Amino acid sequence: MTVIWKTAATLGALTFSAAAQAEDFAWFEGDKLVLTNGVSTIEGASGGGLASWATIAGRELENGVGISGHATIVELSDYGWQSHGVSVGIANRVELSYARQNFDTRDVGAALRIGKGYKLNQDVYSAKVRLFGDLVYGDPLVPQVSVGVQHKRNLDGPIAALVGAGSDEGTDYTLSATKLFLSHSVLASATVRLTNANQNGLLGFGNASGKGKSVEFEGSLAYQLSRRFVLGAEYRTKPDNLGLGEEDWFDLFAAYAVTDNVTVTGAYVDLGSIATFENQRGTFLSAQIAF
């Protein structure tokens, strides 16, 4: 993780230095079109609610620094999920983010013999770099493409080991392509993720027999009803390293920009089976403030 953050910090510093030399360098003034910075995912990086996008956090373009913060709750049939975090976008090129995830087992905790209401916790440190393309402008057939890395540190190692995980730390790698077809009001995004995370890492990584990483897919499609209102859907495939029947994730979402800086996202989510408890469906609600 130290190498990852040193590399990201160095790239961010170089980008920041170059941008700072521009005559019109700006802090948090917000030049992007509304909603084109995405919302905050449950892992803290910019994108959709469940899926990563190629977007860069904050509302600044190439001549500035942007920042965003989020808080998210997910109410499921048997569990509760909460996450919060902050992201910084530098010159619309580099993104650095952090998120804390908290997963409430409620009555299931007693059934699993870890204690009623036991909360699983995880820290996620992320970095993303835009390689080429632009989300809105340029050739309509060339999307914005970004590469990302997410280091996840599970804070409940003994529980992860109890269910058969091989480690309490893991690193995901993502490659995303996202494009807003402005004339048609349609956004499309696709991400491939190299991961061995169990339930996003909240149940650890891999398994005791040394299960390696697998390539998973995340896709998003959205329609912009107005400048401030978007409807869409997301699908995210998942590995099943523990043999507990972990299933893919799906959502139907609506995002509304209350102001240029405040966005609220609501969704119906289907997270499938979690720790053998099936049909984990419910509601997702997230608020983001961005500059």
Residue-by-residue DSSP string for the chain = -HHHHHHHHHHHHHHHHHHHTSTT-EES---SPTTTT-EE-TTSSEESSSSB-S--SSS--TTEEEEEEEEEEEE-SS-EEEEEEEEEEETTTEEEEEEEEEEE-HHHHHHTTS-TT-EEEEEEEEEEEEEE--SSSS-TTS-EEEEEEEEEEES-HHHHHHTT-SBSEEEEEEEEEEEEETTTTEEEEEEEEEE-BSGGGTT-BS-TT----EEEEEEEEEEESSSSEEEEEEEE----TTSS----EEEEEEEEESSSSEEEEEEEEE---BTTB---EEEEEEEEEE-
pLDDT at residue 254, as a whole number: 98
Domains present along the chain, CATH in parentheses: 2-290 (2.40.160.40)
pLDDT at residue 24, as a whole number: 58
Looking at the predicted structure, is the pLDDT value of residue 264 above 80? yes
CA 237 to chain centre: 14
Give 207's pLDDT tier (boundaries 50, 70, 90).
very high
- Give how far Cα 93 sits from Cα of 130, 171, 194, 287, Å: 5, 21, 22, 24
Q: Which of 2-16, 42-56, 74-88 has the lowest mean pLDDT?
A: 2-16
Count the Cβ atoms, other than its own, within 10 Å of residue 74. 23
Tens of pLDDT, residue by residue over 31-67, are 899 999 999 999 999 999 999 999 999 999 888 999 9
Tens of pLDDT, residue by residue over 113-131, are 899 999 999 999 999 999 9
Give 25's pLDDT tier (boundaries 50, 70, 90).
low
pLDDT at residue 77, as a whole number: 96
Q: Which two tokens stand for residue 13?
A: 């510093």
CB contact at 8 A, 64 and 27: yes
